[in-house]
Amino acid sequence: MTDRPVSSELLRRPRRLRGTPAMRSLVAETHLHPSDFILPMFVAEGIDEPRPISSMPSVVQHTLDSLVEAVHEAVSVGIRCVDLFGVPLEEHKDAVGSGAWDRRGILNEAIAKLRREFGNDVLIMADTCLDEFTDHGHCGVLSTDRHGAVIVDNDATLTAYARMAIAQAEAGAHIISPSGMMDGQVRVIRQALDEQGFSDVAIMAYSAKYASAFYGPFREAVGSSLQGDRRTYQQDPANFRESLLEVELDVAEGADFVMVKPAMPYLDVLREVAQRSPVPVAAYQVSGEYAMLHAAAQNGWLDLEAVMMESLTSIKRAGAQQILTYFAVDAAKVITSS
């Protein structure tokens, strides 16, 4: 007989289900799979080899050829969707972002090249926004209000988005992804696509996109020419109900997916959207989230692989069915090797 206290009254011992890796795997409530991930990729005009992005370790601006090679690598580990961002030369930017609907523009050329290479085996999603193509860096067309102040003209921008979406669909995009947060953008794009015979092209709406400080490294990635900020059209980080309204409007206008961006700072928003949305819900683990985990790991403060997987699990646990992440390939390798 021992002096250990008798604990027969403890009928419930949750630790029984944590004792071994096999047991933890058996009862895990959330599972990541490579097919959950969408890989954001940048393709730049006027470069002859991939160009590293200093604030985003291991992420580059691709050439058209290196883009194809990188997508083959992604496919080899189980990723089936990529999200393309174009980076035109400065001299090809203008006030209205006309390079966005130029068939020879870098983004549309990249879409077409991937569609020829992969057909329907890889879903090609295209960023449908003008910010990379305007010389002022805003997501829309500028005008002045009745008081003479410079504004982003919502309705004039919608016309440009429709042209851009049609060009992307013609190039071969499977999914159009309007990220500019203009009122009515999903309705106008859906109508334009349907009228041009692209009723099979889906729309992933950036429905709850916040004016976040976590986008910093992305500005380098796309060579942003932004002057000012985007707080008049992206959401205020202080607001929650506004996201639910935006999602409701986008679904009513024909969105096939809705998105919350950024992901980790807005998991509360993601959870509520996931519970309410009748369509699939995506979340974007943005450049700042990616960069800060890398920076902490480089300083020896965090285990990069561990926090990568924990952060992605938290996003899926909150309700995301698709996760846009620059970690996509690395995370998929971890999953497939485990």
Run of H or E including 192:
helix 185-195
Give me the tens of pLDDT residue by residue for the chain, a chain 338 residues long.
Answer: 556 665 667 889 999 999 999 999 999 999 999 999 999 999 999 999 999 999 999 999 999 999 999 999 999 999 999 999 999 999 999 999 999 999 999 999 999 999 999 999 999 999 999 999 999 989 999 999 999 998 999 999 999 999 999 999 999 999 999 999 999 999 999 999 999 999 999 999 999 999 999 998 888 888 887 777 888 899 999 999 999 999 999 999 999 999 999 999 999 999 999 999 999 999 999 999 999 999 999 999 999 999 999 999 999 999 999 999 999 999 999 999 98
Catalytic amino acids?
209, 261
Run of H or E including 330:
helix 328-337
Alpha helices, DSSP H, located in 18-138 = 21-27, 64-76, 106-118
Full-model pTM: 0.95
Burial pattern 37-71, b for ≥16 Cβ within 10 A else e, equals: bbbbbbbbbebeebbebebbbebbbbbbebbbebb
pLDDT confidence of residue 3: 63
Query: What does the alpha-carbon distance between residue 208 and residue 291 come to, in Å, rounded to a whole number?
Result: 22
- Domain residue ranges in the chain: 31-337
Phi/psi for 125 (5° steps) reads -105, 140
Structure tokens at 3: 């002096």
pLDDT confidence of residue 277: 98
Domain 31-337 of CATH type 3.40.50.720: no
pLDDT confidence of residue 225: 76
Query: What does the alpha-carbon distance between residue 141 and residue 120 come to, in Å, rounded to a whole number?
Result: 33
Which amino acid, residue 290? Y
pLDDT confidence of residue 227: 74
pLDDT confidence of residue 222: 84
8 A C-beta contact, residue 258 and residue 251: yes
8 A C-beta contact, residue 128 and residue 168: yes
pLDDT confidence of residue 267: 98
Query: What does the alpha-carbon distance between residue 209 and residue 254 come to, in Å, rounded to a whole number?
Result: 18
Structure tokens at 35: 């097919």
Half-sphere exposure of 290 (CA within 13 A, CB side): 27
Q: Could you tell me which of 143, 295, 155 has the C-alpha nearest to residue 217? A: 295
3-state class (DSSP) for residue 155: helix
